[in-house]
């Protein structure tokens, strides 16, 4: 079935989103990606250039976060999706490596919370990186090694920790939000016309080559007037952006390493999903192979990654993708409802579309699927 045939099938009818999700999730035969929007070479009548505001932030400030001058960013919007902004890899050469290392080595550390905490003691998950790297370095030596904790990682929460069961945030479930990630988000927000954005919660999703993320809406934040920011690193994924109803046919687009998506205004509460990771044959995306051109200064947010650490990161990203979503939970001056309960759940978040015994899949806690 071609992409055009798939489009005709899902143009009308019940749950058009789910039908296109299944089309791109299919493995045999593989889907036709010819109608997926590629923002690095946009030639689709749905795409238009989006003008950002470079006035609020100096070139020096954005470079400290590993970003190019805002005037050089390539930003796009989509007709029919007001408030949606796509920024095609605005990172300086080599700077993505720092953010990847943070996602794999630093952010999974305690007191942050991850999916492994649901089934393991805090002692067992205390240092996922250190407990994984020795096994990872032995892989490929002919001996089959079991999966490391790093390979079993599916999600990590930062700041206000999301409760997957009640789908709420709580003032009792909070750890300090990473300053460098807050600064990065604040700078991107200012360039997109959202000054004063306060990063209060983060969800990191770790996708293996067989992972997907089910259809859902991010509506748990108490303030929906503030945008949601999504940062992608590693292998390319297909992202589906739909409407306010599951009957609305979604638009498919590629997310490449370094790309940033902004969901604001009317697009803030739209259905969306990730049906598949696009295999690249165990090859690292070219931008991730670049090292920092100059040595980072002490006041820079980003710092050089050691070759030892990057060997592990690059091995992981040859078959995987990391996505970071950053949210503001509360409006300025807003507080949590007094009845807000605090309890860490062992249940799943957004329910994946294909989690039945019939297709012999198993799910992790965050709505992912991966083959058994």
Consult the annotation and say whether 72 binds a ligand: no
pLDDT at residue 224, as a whole number: 92
pLDDT at residue 337, as a whole number: 87
Is residue 155 over pLDDT 60? yes
| CA dist list (Å): 280 to 20, 209, 257 | 22, 10, 12
Domain limits for position 262: 35-327
pLDDT at residue 75, as a whole number: 97
Task: Band the pLDDT of 299: cuts 50, 70, 90.
Answer: low
Task: Band the pLDDT of 183: cuts 50, 70, 90.
Answer: very high
Task: Band the pLDDT of 301: cuts 50, 70, 90.
Answer: confident
pTM score above 0.85: yes
Task: Band the pLDDT of 289: cuts 50, 70, 90.
Answer: confident
pLDDT at residue 122, as a whole number: 87
Is residue 342 over pLDDT 60? no
Is residue 58 over pLDDT 90? no
| Residue 311 belongs to some domain of the structure | yes
Mean pLDDT throughout 39-68? 88
Mean pLDDT throughout 78-83? 96
| Residue 359 belongs to some domain of the structure | no
| Residue 25 belongs to some domain of the structure | no
| Residue 357 belongs to some domain of the structure | no
Consult the annotation and say whether 272 binds a ligand: yes
| Residue 286 belongs to some domain of the structure | yes
pLDDT at residue 351, as a whole number: 35
Task: Band the pLDDT of 357: cuts 50, 70, 90.
Answer: very low
Q: In the predicted model, what is the mean pLDDT of the chain?
A: 85
Consult the annotation and say whether 216 binds a ligand: yes
| Residue 369 belongs to some domain of the structure | no
pLDDT at residue 354, as a whole number: 37
pLDDT at residue 235, as a whole number: 96
Is residue 305 over pLDDT 90? yes
Task: Band the pLDDT of 347: cuts 50, 70, 90.
Answer: very low
Q: Total domain count for the chain?
A: 1
> For position 87, which CATH number holds?
2.60.120.590
pLDDT digits (tens, 9 = 90+) for 221-264: 998 999 999 999 999 999 999 999 989 999 999 999 999 999 99
Task: Band the pLDDT of 265: cuts 50, 70, 90.
Answer: very high
| Residue 242 belongs to some domain of the structure | yes
- Higher per-residue pLDDT: 340 or 342: 340
CA atoms within 13 A on the CB side of 136: 21
Mean pLDDT throughout 177-182? 96
| Residue 299 belongs to some domain of the structure | yes
Residue % of the chain over a pLDDT of 70: 84
pLDDT at residue 298, as a whole number: 61
pLDDT at residue 130, as a whole number: 94
């Amino acid at each position: 079935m071609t992409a055009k045939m798939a489009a005709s099938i899902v143009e009308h009818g019940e749950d058009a989103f789910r039908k296109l999700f299944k089309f791109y999730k299919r493995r045999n035969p593989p889907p036709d990606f010819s109608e997926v929007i590629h923002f690095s070479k946009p030639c689709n009548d749905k795409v238009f250039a989006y003008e950002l505001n470079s006035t609020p932030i100096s070139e020096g400030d954005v470079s400290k976060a590993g970003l190019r001058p805002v005037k050089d960013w390539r930003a796009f919007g989509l007709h029919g999706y007001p408030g949606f902004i796509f920024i095609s890899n605005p990172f300086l050469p080599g700077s993505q490596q720092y953010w990847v290392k943070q996602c794999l080595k630093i952010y999974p550390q305690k007191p942050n919370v991850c999916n492994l905490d649901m089934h393991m003691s805090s002692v067992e998950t205390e240092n996922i990186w250190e407990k994984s790297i020795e096994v990872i370095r032995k892989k490929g030596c002919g001996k089959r090694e079991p999966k490391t904790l790093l390979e079993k990682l599916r999600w990590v929460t930062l700041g206000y920790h999301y409760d997957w069961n009640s789908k709420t945030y709580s003032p009792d479930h909070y750890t300090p939000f990473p300053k460098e990630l807050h600064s990065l988000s604040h700078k991107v927000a200012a360039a997109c016309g959202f000054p004063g954005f306060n990063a209060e919660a983060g969800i990191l999703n770790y996708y293996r080559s067989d992972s997907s993320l089910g259809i859902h809406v991010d509506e748990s934040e108490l303030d929906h007037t503030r945008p949601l920011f999504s940062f992608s690193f590693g292998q390319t994924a297909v992202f589906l952006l739909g409407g306010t109803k599951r009957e609305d046919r979604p638009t498919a687009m590629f997310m490449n390493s370094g790309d940033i998506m902004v969901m604001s205004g009317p697009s803030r509460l739209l259905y969306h999903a990730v049906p598949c990771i696009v295999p690249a044959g165990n090859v690292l995306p070219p931008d991730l192979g670049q090292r920092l051109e100059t040595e980072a200064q002490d006041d820079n947010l980003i710092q050089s990654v050691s070759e030892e650490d990057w060997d592990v990161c690059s091995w992981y990203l040859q078959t995987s993708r990391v996505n970071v979503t950053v949210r503001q939970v509360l409006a300025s001056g807003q507080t949590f409802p007094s009845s807000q309960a605090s309890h860490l759940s062992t249940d799943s978040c957004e329910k994946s579309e294909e989690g039945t015994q019939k297709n012999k899949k198993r799910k992790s806690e965050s709505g992912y699927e991966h083959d058994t």
